[in-house]
């Protein structure tokens, strides 16, 4: 095992777990994840951090993918604890292994920052949604203010290497709109306990528009 693989499989999951367990992150997840209904697909489901927040009575089927095998073990364990059948697979958002118009809801939390091709991933999420389906999103990205944006550009090259390809400068709601969704923003703000270059958040509901 090379140093890169060792870091990605051993150290990075611990860093992700620590960040995803913060109170501020949990508070925002609670505004988004419980809105899921029907057949649900979660991109970046590794770790299973959202599973405790789903309203199981409102969901008929759950599926998800994540490229990190180590995180998938935790996701499957949490599904077993929740007591529901879950189709959890290893995979990438640029090529989602499910058919067109398969899901009523897609959940995407802290994932668009780290995919290789954000536009392709959003196209795939739109493809697997049924007409009128909803994309529930919670993401961090490009800050609206000049000062934080300057630091995002400076820090991003190193940050990506340490944080599993996580980008600091990606657009969020505007990128989702450009992919064929109509967004209903629930909120946007900086985290109080994070530096502004790492703390800009946007979350909301995006509905699949007609082709």
Contact predicate 65/88, CB 8 Å? yes
Tens-digit pLDDT profile for residues 58-111 = 999 999 999 988 889 889 999 999 889 899 999 999 999 999 999 999 999 999
Which domains are seen in the chain, by residue range? 3-208 (3.40.50.150)
Q: E strands, the chain, where?
A: 38-43, 59-66, 86-90, 103-109, 129-140, 181-190, 200-208
**How far apart, in Å, are the Cα atoms of 56 and each of 25, 34, 65, 85, 86?**
21, 9, 19, 11, 12
Tens-digit pLDDT profile for residues 135-163 = 999 999 999 999 999 999 999 999 999 89
Q: Which residues on adjacent β-strands are paired with residue 41?
A: 63, 106
For 140, how many CA atoms within 13 A lie in the half-sphere containing its CB?
23
**How far apart, in Å, are the Cα atoms of 6 and each of 9, 11, 188?**
5, 7, 35
Tens-digit pLDDT profile for residues 158-208 = 999 989 899 999 999 999 999 999 999 999 999 998 999 999 999 999 999
CB atoms within 10 A of CB 129: 25
**How far apart, in Å, are the Cα atoms of 150 and each of 114, 143, 145?**
20, 9, 9
Residue 211 scores a pLDDT above 70: no
SS3 category, 69: helix
What per-residue string of b and e applies to 158-194 under the rule 16 or more CB within 10 Å gives b? Answer: ebeeebbebbbebebbebbeebbbebeebeeebbeeb
Sign of the Cα torsion 145, 149, 150, 151 reads: positive
pTM value surpassing 0.85: yes
């Amino acid at each position: 095992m090379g140093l890169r693989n060792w870091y990605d499989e051993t150290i990075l999951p611990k860093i992700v777990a620590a960040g995803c367990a913060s109170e501020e992150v949990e508070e925002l997840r609670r505004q988004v994840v419980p809105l899921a209904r029907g057949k649900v697909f979660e991109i970046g489901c590794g770790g299973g951090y959202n599973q405790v927040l789903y309203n199981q009575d409102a969901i008929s089927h759950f599926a998800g993918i994540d490229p990190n095998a180590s995180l998938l073990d935790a996701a499957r364990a949490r599904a077993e604890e929740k007591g529901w059948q879950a189709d959890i697979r290893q995979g990438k958002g640029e090529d989602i292994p499910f058919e067109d118009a398969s899901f009523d809801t897609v959940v995407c939390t802290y994932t668009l920052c780290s995919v290789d091709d954000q536009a392709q991933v959003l196209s795939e999420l739109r493809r697997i949604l049924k007409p009128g389906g909803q994309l529930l999103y919670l993401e961090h990205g490009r800050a609206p203010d000049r000062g934080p944006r300057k630091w995002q550009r400076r820090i991003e090259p190193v940050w990506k290497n340490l944080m599993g390809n996580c980008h600091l400068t990606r657009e969020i709601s505007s990128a989702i709109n450009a992919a064929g969704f109509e967004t209903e923003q629930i909120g946007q703000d900086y985290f109080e306990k994070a530096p502004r270059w790492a703390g800009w958040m946007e979350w909301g509901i995006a509905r699949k528009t007609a082709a």
